[in-house]
């Protein structure tokens, strides 16, 4: 076991400044994940060359892969840094910001496009209001629940967007994560009522048909959200919607 | 008179803040929603096991009344009871509202909401979505808030940190100042009402089950500006935290509700593979000591039992600070279906499969029962909290409201599992309604002149930032935080004594002094996380002083607060009717005369000033002690 943990981190001071690399070597400790290691570096930010520098900036919150904050590229692959255990990674551990979102600073990127896209596809149930209407929603079978629960675990972390060859800042494609939420909302017994609105939102430019079927998204999703299954099912739903639009429902 | 269109601010976008936002918007009042990060990343996402509501769909005869009784007794009678009554009564309606929002609750074979057992109760009362219920509930309200955002009624200010409130000459809250976490600029934001929904304070203990942004800094800041902080000394240790260097990850109480068992080898230091240890050499101490509730005793009881087994009986696994949480006797597919997300967490971080190998756990700081003091108005017609009253969830500062974990209203001395998602949601809803009523009432009152209050407060905050950024001392804020966590964990933990607490109070004062000599490695003006972190460390120390001072003064045992010296023990093997029990009951009531009081801390520069307020016990007078044997 090596007695140090080595990192190579891509730094970028400001959104418009030129990136550069810095290397760090810290004492080995068992049980480190990438975020806890970054915290140790932050406390004593000295590079492998012995220079005291401004500590790297990154995002994290829950530290247990539930909140989606700490996405970054680790050894080239988009994943959650808090569950990336140092002992399982080859060194130097290369940290880069997600490549498909604008860099704010160092490993911090701006993922607001994902939340904008959730608005674009109307990923919500149109309830009358959040007051009690003295009844619940219609029943949902355990079999339907299986798929819905899997879809609902999407934490908008952006890994699938990073891996998707069709998603990029200069393109209009919604990306896998927001698309999967359309299926979740369409599956809900009252969410179905607005199905046509959501389907229309993904039928135009940048919508479903921009998916190139590379299957990259499903490879990197930390929550195993059935993204490609969802996209396939939405393909059938949009086809049916086209027919309904032409012939009436 | 106010004629301008009202505006409100909600700080915090977890369950409480998002519910408050919904109810304000639905009352026609736009909201500026402030959060340290995208609201969807809030710590509510970490809540696992479920949310309580007496739906009584399991043929066990559960009732709303029983939910009220369990909650009051679970909290050792320390919370005002009418708000608890209303919360439990409205719980089924809340669950059904979540269901309408599309929350993916787990289902029975006939498609109804399934329910599971949780701690401190005898009936299945906990609705759940696998073991990621908090995440699912959070997403449900997040989507509804996005719907209103889409209509222009909610304006999100994500990546902003609240630094202070702004008050007028009459002390009324009129807005906030906040730090843009990207540009590091301080700005003032006027509002007719401010709701704090800023969550828990686990980071004060260094390592806890909480997210790394759950510092309590916002609550501490308004406390330092005059808001009262109640019952600070009541800190819940969750019995089953994963052992970790960076975080104590939660292993849900649902694991025991679904049949998991806690045990440790009877032989001290036994290092055999747990699977090879025969049944009769295993000590199922919760089942032995509490045959009626067994593994699902309330958290304070379970945490203390584990503490006793490990620290006093010397029976920790391999002699270390840990015992087993065992699911291996349950069918693996059942465990994965019901508890999949926590099983994944355990597997990710340890490499071990909990369906095959018992998990190793130890109590971890988890939840603050205490929090900002909030008012409520009684409804004589129902004996509960009066619907729509502007007093509900208002702090002692007019116009400043609090909800969720950062208020201290519902859980008294100990919170029952799966009541936190309930209280966060319910209190958020109430606070939103209450703030709406308050804002509408403002149209009829003349408000004091603000003068240059906003500029002055912004200047004051910028000066604090400047002082930190230019400080050239030798103290490292990250190291100070670690020391704070150690003081709190070692001296203000599961078991407390007055000597250690005195030491803690001294150590905290010293940490506050040392904070004046910090120095930052990052002094830059763009996404500088060191500056807000340093400020949080200061504010955590101040709140640590509240916790320690309350604990020092409370010479009794109640719920999570335990001092062996003052323990009033239930006589062993004795029950109601036995003379020893009746003697115990008499002494228990005498103790309540002295200590069944709400601790209220007011800020003073030299340390908190503590006073005690009476508790409203009008729903269930304290006649029967807690007894989970």
**Per-residue pLDDT tens over the stretch B248-267:** 999 999 999 999 999 999 99
Percent of chain B with pLDDT over 90: 98
The answer to whether residue B1 scores a pLDDT higher than 50 is no
Q: Which residue of B has its CA nearest to A187?
A: B102
Phi (first) and psi of residue B156, to 5 degrees: -85, 135
The answer to whether residue B227 scores a pLDDT higher than 60 is yes
Percent of chain A with pLDDT over 70: 99
Answer yes or no: do B143 and A83 touch at CB < 8 A: no
Nearest by CB: B530 against A55, A123, A124 = A55
Answer yes or no: do A61 and B37 touch at CB < 8 A: yes
What structural domains and CATH numbers belong to chain A? 4-109 (3.10.20.30), 112-247 (1.10.1060.10)
Q: Which of B546, B529, B525 is nearest to B477 (CA)?
A: B529
**Contacts with A119 from chain B: Cβ below 8 Å:** 146, 149-150
Q: In the block, which residue shows the tokens 């209303």?
A: B86
Nearest by CB: B245 against A36, A55, A126 = A36
Q: Which residue of B has its CA nearest to A36?
A: B246
**Per-residue pLDDT tens over the stretch B124-150:** 999 999 999 999 999 999 999 999 999
**DSSP letter string, B249-318:** -B--THHHHTT-EEEEESSTT--S-GGGS-GGGEE-HHHHH-TTTGGGS-HHHHHHHHHIIIIIS--SGG
Q: Is B113 touching A (CB cutoff 8 A)? A: yes
> Where is A27: in which H helix or E strand?
strand A20-27
Phi (first) and psi of residue B572, to 5 degrees: -60, 130
Predicted local confidence at residue B629, as pLDDT: 95
Mean pLDDT confidence for B589-605: 98
Mean pLDDT confidence for A159-183: 97
Contact B87, B382 (CB under 8 A): no
Q: Would you call B236 helix, strand, or coil by DSSP?
A: strand
Answer yes or no: do A54 and B522 touch at CB < 8 A: yes
Contact B598, B78 (CB under 8 A): yes
Percent of chain B with pLDDT over 70: 100
Mean pLDDT confidence for A59-75: 97
Predicted local confidence at residue B445, as pLDDT: 79
Answer yes or no: do A62 and B102 touch at CB < 8 A: no
Q: Which two tokens stand for residue A136?
A: 């619940």
Query: How distant is the Cα of A240 from the closest Cα of chain B, in angstroms?
Result: 23
**Contacts with B212 from chain A: Cβ below 8 Å:** 60-63
CA distance B201 to B524: 28
Q: How confident is the model at residue B37 (pLDDT cuts 50, 70, 90)?
A: very high
User: In which region does residue B175 sit, left (phi positive, over 0), alpha (psi from -120 to 50) or beta (all else)?
Assistant: left
Answer yes or no: do A119 and B150 touch at CB < 8 A: yes
Predicted local confidence at residue B447, as pLDDT: 81
**Per-residue pLDDT tens over the stretch A69-106:** 999 999 999 999 999 999 999 999 999 999 999 999 99
Query: How distant is the Cα of B278 from the closest Cα of chain A, in angstroms?
Result: 31
Mean pLDDT estimate for chain B: 97
**Contacts with A137 from chain B: Cβ below 8 Å:** 96, 99-100, 102
**Per-residue pLDDT tens over the stretch B483-530:** 999 999 999 999 999 999 999 999 999 999 999 999 999 999 999 999
Mean pLDDT estimate for chain A: 96
Residues in chain A: 249
Q: Would you call B191 helix, strand, or coil by DSSP?
A: coil
Query: How distant is the Cα of A99 from the closest Cα of chain B, in angstroms?
Result: 19
Q: Which residue of B has its CA nearest to A67?
A: B41
Considering the domain delimited by B239-364, tell me its CATH architecture.
Answer: Alpha-Beta Complex (3.90)
Mean pLDDT confidence for B464-475: 96
Return the residue in B108, B238, B348, B351 with the most chain A beta carbons within 10 A, the one to mutate for interface testing: B348
Query: How distant is the Cα of B107 from the closest Cα of chain A, in angstroms?
Result: 5
Nearest by CB: B41 against A61, A122, A135 = A61
Predicted local confidence at residue B449, as pLDDT: 82
Q: Are strands B51-52 and B31-35 parallel, antiparallel or unpaired?
A: unpaired
Contact B377, B354 (CB under 8 A): no
Answer yes or no: do B527 and A119 touch at CB < 8 A: no
**Contacts with B26 from chain A: Cβ below 8 Å:** 129-131
Helical pair B498-515 and B530-553, crossing angle rounded to 10 deg: 150
Return the residue in A36, A61, A85, A225 with the most chain B beta carbons within 10 A, the one to mutate for interface testing: A61
Q: Which of B181, B183, B119, B141 is nearest to B31 (CA)?
A: B141
Instruction: Give the B window 335-374 contacts with A, CB below 8 Å.
Output: 341, 344-345, 348-349
Q: Is B20 touching A (CB cutoff 8 A)? A: no
CA distance B519 to B527: 17
Q: How many CA atoms lie within 13 A of B414 on its CB side?
A: 29
Q: Is B451 touching A (CB cutoff 8 A)? A: no
Mean pLDDT confidence for B550-574: 97
Predicted local confidence at residue B327, as pLDDT: 98
Q: Which residue of A has its CA nearest to B482?
A: A43
Answer yes or no: do A67 and B90 touch at CB < 8 A: no
Nearest by CB: B100 against A62, A127, A139 = A127
Predicted local confidence at residue A249, as pLDDT: 62
Answer yes or no: do A136 and B341 touch at CB < 8 A: no
Q: In the block, which residue shows the tokens 């409205």?
A: B90
Answer yes or no: do B46 and A148 touch at CB < 8 A: no
Q: Which of B458, B460, B459, B465 is nearest to B522 (CA)?
A: B465
Q: Which two tokens stand for residue A79?
A: 């994943």
Catalytic residues of B: 299
Answer yes or no: do A31 and B149 touch at CB < 8 A: no
Q: Give the burial class of B524: count Cβ atoms within 10 A of its Cβ; 0-12 exposed, 13-18 middle, 19 or more buried.
A: middle
CATH code given to domain B468-614: 1.20.58.100
Q: How confident is the model at residue B3 (pLDDT cuts 50, 70, 90)?
A: low
Contact B550, B560 (CB under 8 A): no
Q: How many CB pairs under 8 A join A and B?
A: 194
Neighbours of A134 (CB within 10 A): 8
Predicted local confidence at residue B5, as pLDDT: 85
Predicted local confidence at residue A248, as pLDDT: 84
Nearest by CB: A124 against B94, B104, B147 = B147
Q: What interface predicted TM-score (ipTM) does this complex get?
A: 0.98
Q: Is B567 touching A (CB cutoff 8 A)? A: no
Contact A160, A221 (CB under 8 A): yes
Answer yes or no: do B345 and A65 touch at CB < 8 A: yes
**Per-residue pLDDT tens over the stretch A213-222:** 999 999 999 9
Q: In the block, which residue shows the tokens 């679970």?
A: B74
Q: CATH 1.20.58.100 residue ranges in chain B?
A: 468-614
Return the residue in A16, A27, A67, A118 with the most chain B beta carbons within 10 A, the one to mutate for interface testing: A67
3-state secondary structure string across B382-437? CCEECCCCCCCCECCCCCEEECHHHECCCCCCCCCCCCHHHHHHHHHHHHHHHHHH
**Per-residue pLDDT tens over the stretch B374-398:** 999 999 999 999 999 999 999 999 9
Nearest by CB: A61 against B107, B111, B212 = B212
Q: CATH 3.90.700.10 residue ranges in chain B?
A: 239-364
């Amino acid at each position: 076991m090596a007695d140090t943990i080595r990192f190579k981190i891509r730094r970028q001071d400001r959104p418009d400044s030129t990136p550069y690399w810095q290397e760090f070597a810290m004492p080995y400790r068992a049980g480190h994940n990438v975020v806890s290691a970054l915290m140790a570096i932050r406390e004593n930010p000295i590079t492998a060359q012995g220079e005291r520098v401004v500590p790297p900036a990154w995002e994290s919150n829950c530290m247990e892969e539930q909140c989606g904050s700490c996405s970054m590229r680790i050894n080239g692959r988009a994943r959650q840094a808090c569950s990336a255990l140092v002992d399982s990674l080859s060194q130097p551990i290369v940290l880069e910001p997600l490549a498909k979102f604008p860099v704010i600073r160092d490993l911090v990127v701006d993922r607001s496009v994902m939340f904008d896209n959730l608005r674009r596809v109307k990923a919500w149930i149109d309830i009358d209001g959040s007051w009690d209407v003295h009844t619940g929603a219609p029943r949902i079978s355990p079999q339907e629940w299986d798929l819905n629960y899997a879809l609902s675990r999407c934490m908008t972390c952006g890994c699938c967007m990073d891996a998707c060859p069709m998603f990029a800042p200069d393109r209009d494609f919604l990306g896998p994560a927001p698309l999967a939420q359309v299926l979740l909302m369409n599956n809900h017994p009252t969410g179905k009522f607005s199905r046509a609105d959501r389907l229309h939102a993904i039928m135009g430019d940048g919508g479903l048909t921009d998916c190139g079927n590379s299957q990259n998204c499903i490879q990197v999703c930390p929550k195993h959200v059935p993204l490609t299954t969802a996209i396939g099912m939405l393909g059938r739903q949009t086809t049916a919607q086209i027919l309904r639009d032409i012939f009436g429902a | 008179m106010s004629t301008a269109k009202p505006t409100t601010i909600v700080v915090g976008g977890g369950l409480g803040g998002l519910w408050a936002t919904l109810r304000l918007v639905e009352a026609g009042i736009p909201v500026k929603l402030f959060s340290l990060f995208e609201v969807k990343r809030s710590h509510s996402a970490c809540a696992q096991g479920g949310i309580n509501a007496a739906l009584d769909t399991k043929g066990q005869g559960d009732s709303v009344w029983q939910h009220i009784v369990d909650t009051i007794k679970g909290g050792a009678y320390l919370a005002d009871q009418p708000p608890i009554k209303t919360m439990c009564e409205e719980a089924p309606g809340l669950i059904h509202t979540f269901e309408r929002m599309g929350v993916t609750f787990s289902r029975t074979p006939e498609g109804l909401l399934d329910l599971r057992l949780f701690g401190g109760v005898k009936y299945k009362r906990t609705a759940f979505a696998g073991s990621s219920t908090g995440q699912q509930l959070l997403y449900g309200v997040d989507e509804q808030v996005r719907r209103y955002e889409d209509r222009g009624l909610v304006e999100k200010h994500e990546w902003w940190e609240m630094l202070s409130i702004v008050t007028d000459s009459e002390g009324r809250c009129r807005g906030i100042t906040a730090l843009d976490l990207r540009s590091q600029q301080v700005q003032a934001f006027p509002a007719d009402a401010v709701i704090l929904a800023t969550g828990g304070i686990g980071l004060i203990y260094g390592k806890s089950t909480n997210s790394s942004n759950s510092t309590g800094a916002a609550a501490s800041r308004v406390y330092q500006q005059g808001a009262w902080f109640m019952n600070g000394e009541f800190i819940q240790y969750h019995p089953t935290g994963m052992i970790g260097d960076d975080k104590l990850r939660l292993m849900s109480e649902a694991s025991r509700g679904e049949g998991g068992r806690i045990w440790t080898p009877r032989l001290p230091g036994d290092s055999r593979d747990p699977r090879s240890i025969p049944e009769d050499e295993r000590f199922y101490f919760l089942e032995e000591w509490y045959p009626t509730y067994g593994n699902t005793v309330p958290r304070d009881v379970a945490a203390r039992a584990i503490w006793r087994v490990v620290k006093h009986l010397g029976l920790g696994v391999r002699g270390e600070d840990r015992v087993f949480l065992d699911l291996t006797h349950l069918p693996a597919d059942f465990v994965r279906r019901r508890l999949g997300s926590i099983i994944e967490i355990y597997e990710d971080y340890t490499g071990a499969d909990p369906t095959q190998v018992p998990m190793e756990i130890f109590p971890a700081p988890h939840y603050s029962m205490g929090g900002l003091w909030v008012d409520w108005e009684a409804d004589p017609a129902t004996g509960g909290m009066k619907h729509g009253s502007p007093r509900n969830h208002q702090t002692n500062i007019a116009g400043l409201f609090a909800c969720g974990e950062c208020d201290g209203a519902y859980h008294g001395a100990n919170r029952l599992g799966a009541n936190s998602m309930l209280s966060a949601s319910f209190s958020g809803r109430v606070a939103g309604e209450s703030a709406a009523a308050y804002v509408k009432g403002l149209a009829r009152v003349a408000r004091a002149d603000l003068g240059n209050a906003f500029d002055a407060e912004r200047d004051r905050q910028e000066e604090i930032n400047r002082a930190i950024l230019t400080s050239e001392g030798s103290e490292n804020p990250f190291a100070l935080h670690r020391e704070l966590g150690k003081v709190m964990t070692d001296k203000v933990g599961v078991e407390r004594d007055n000597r250690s607490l005195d030491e803690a109070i001294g150590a905290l004062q010293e940490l506050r002094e040392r904070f004046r000599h910090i120095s930052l490695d990052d002094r830059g003006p763009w996404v500088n996380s060191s500056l807000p972190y340093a400020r949080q460390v200061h504010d955590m120390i101040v709140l640590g002083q509240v916790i320690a001072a309350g604990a020092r003064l409370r010479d009794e045992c109640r719920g999570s607060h335990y001092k062996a010296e003052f323990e009033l023990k239930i006589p062993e093997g004795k029950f109601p009717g036995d003379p020893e029990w009746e003697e115990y009951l008499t002494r228990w009531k005498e103790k309540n005369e002295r200590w069944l009081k709400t601790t209220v801390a007011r800020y003073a520069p030299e340390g908190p000033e503590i006073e005690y307020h009476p508790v409203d016990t009008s729903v269930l007078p304290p006649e029967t002690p807690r007894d989970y044997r």
